[in-house]
Chains A and B, each alone.
Chain A
């Protein structure tokens, strides 16, 4: 069984230097297939009891891989996963089973995550059947309670997934995750496949359930506004690494990492006056290949503040310039309050600066 490691009482899930590489193209000759996608490259993160930790990153930043490492659907390349004081990094499927009861997952695709050949009643009842919690009529009652809890009609017990809308299907996924009364639910982009109106319903449902059932969420999304709405703290990922972690209000008010600052400036605001006054920072270029990530700071080829040090040395994730311990940033030259990124120019050699990577000022020019 997993050993107990000393842990401050309020940390439910701790990721410690998690690394996940996927080999690219199975080599015929052993030892010659050196290439690997560095999906997650040394992420350390704590999820505290009762909180919602938002994990944001663009497509390919490794956030979903990190979620699957946290729930041990993936085997880690390196690092540790500690759940409630128990190291579950190397447990086998069988050994993991008791932890599955406390650690559940809601998936991104409401269409792909439900088996089309099974009735929703048996899908939701699956965790109960697998863990032998209740059987027969009692299981059916429990499943129907769960359906009611997530806002589904319990009479639809015998329906098939294809007979539900996307939002209803996602409720089925939530009910399945809740069946074992878990303590932590990892939500992997639970609303990104849904319409905006349905999105709000599901987010509200998750919030209500959190209050009622004392849940902890690791909430993954590529949408900063969604994450800002539901999270207590936010962690931002870029190319397999965390670049900044902070309480939600602090991150949105005072981002320290140039990448986060650029992302936040791109979040749409509902107030047109505010939108006009706002400086928008546009990042040029695409994220580099995770097969050959850039040396030093992974953001340096696109960073307006890049300096030679950024190419040579990867910045550690630590609190910068007067920030509290709750707000670490992985940047040698963090953004200062009031600083205008649009005026910055990188001071590194052109080859390092791949594609035209200046940040342009667009505020006003679009109106």
Chain B
């Protein structure tokens, strides 16, 4: 462990000011490991670019002069009424209604990122609250909450999503709520397990022994120690939510047209992929790049937070 070297001791003495020494905590160490991970950097850069593109969508649309819902029946469609391929006018080609695919993909990124992030935040908050309550309280409360989580996890989610959408109608809000509802239980289960084991740790006992109350033990002693797995799960939940949204839109259950979504575009392209390869390809690539970047970032975050676990093939250890 830390053995103060003579040189360092001198440096310590030189600092002299109390509190001048800043410790490097677990988060700080994880951050420093993450910063040295090329995969993490590449994923983060990709995601930043996608986010910038999503934010800049209206600006780009304005610069190009094509709105997301503008149809160009004369220049955007062949005389036979088929989509036109990539050209100087339409950089990534057009869709079946003669709309600019590039502009629609950029606008679709807004929906995908928003659904991914909002649904994940909702699911994470719900999962942490329920899981912490179950793990901390234990006993009958744990039994009821755990069975509830099992039940949610065992739902045939697509069937239920179809049912929910047909009852409430399809909209962006419903999509996010449905996705969050089917995602929180996975986090809740992990949090419950962590809370159960942390509850028995000696430092929690020590906290009781100095007279801490239940709230302090729960939020000061237990919660910070389970944030690491929650962060990893949440990072991996974002791409799952994005794919979920794309699936719903693909099936016509997500955000209703004409709002551009990647899933909706893929769905529209089904009838045209033989004559317009760009139509399914570019929305598909956008979806792939986003989910892949999130997944790789999630893996890197996990490795950074728990270097001892190591990846198969990559030698663990610091």
Residues of A within 8 A of B (CB): 68, 71, 73, 93-94, 96-97, 100-101, 104-105, 107-109, 112-120, 126-127, 130-131, 140, 144, 153-160, 162-166, 168, 173, 176, 179-180
Contact = CB atoms under 8 A, between A and B. Distances in A.
Nearest to B221: A115
A158 B23 CA distance: 5
Interface in B199-230: 201-203, 205-214, 216, 220-221, 224-225
Interface stretch (B12-20, B158-166, B231-239): B12-20
Most A-side CB within 10 Å, residue of B3, B16, B205: B205
A116 to B, nearest CB: 6
A154 B209 CA distance: 24
A93 B208 CA distance: 8
Contact of B205 (A107, A131, A140, A166): A107
Contact of B224 (A94, A104, A117, A127): A117
Contacts of B211: 96-97, 100-101, 127, 130-131
User: Which 4 A/B pairs are nearest by Cβ-Cβ distance?
Assistant: A159-B23, A100-B211, A112-B202, A127-B210
A163 B4 CA distance: 10
A160 B30 CA distance: 14
Given A156-B21, A180-B210, 11 more contacts: A96-B211, A107-B206, A115-B221, A126-B207, A130-B213, A130-B216, A155-B18, A157-B19, A158-B23, A162-B1, A179-B210
Contacts, number: 109
A126 to B, nearest CB: 6
Interface residues of B, number: 35
B19 to A, nearest CB: 5
Given A144-B18, A158-B23, A113 B12 contact: no
Interface in B45-92: none
Most A-side CB within 10 Å, residue of B18, B203, B220: B203
A338 to B, nearest CB: 45
A176 B224 contact: no
A127 B209 CA distance: 9
Given A73-B208, A131-B211, A166 B18 contact: no
A160 B23 contact: yes
A118 B224 contact: yes
B25 interface: yes
Contacts of B20: 155
B256 interface: no
A153 B206 CA distance: 22
A107 B221 CA distance: 16
A165 B213 contact: no
B208 A163 contact: no
Contacts of B15: 155
Most A-side CB within 10 Å, residue of B3, B23, B221, B225: B23
B24 A163 contact: yes
Contacts of B202: 107-109, 112-113
Nearest to A117: B224
A302 to B, nearest CB: 31
Interface of B: 1-3, 12, 15-27, 201-203, 205-214, 216, 220-221, 224-225
13 contacts: A93-B213, A96-B211, A100-B211, A104-B209, A107-B202, A113-B203, A114-B203, A117-B224, A155-B17, A159-B21, A160-B25, A163-B2, A164-B1
A148 to B, nearest CB: 11
Contacts of B220: 118
A113 B206 contact: yes
Contact of B209 (A105, A153, A159): A105
A171 to B, nearest CB: 13
A112 B201 contact: yes
Contacts of B22: 158
A165 B3 CA distance: 7
B25 A119 contact: yes
Given A163-B2, A164-B2, A165-B3, A154 B18 contact: yes
B224 to A, nearest CB: 4
A140 B19 CA distance: 10
B151 to A, nearest CB: 20
Contacts of B205: 68, 73, 107, 113
Contacts of B27: 117
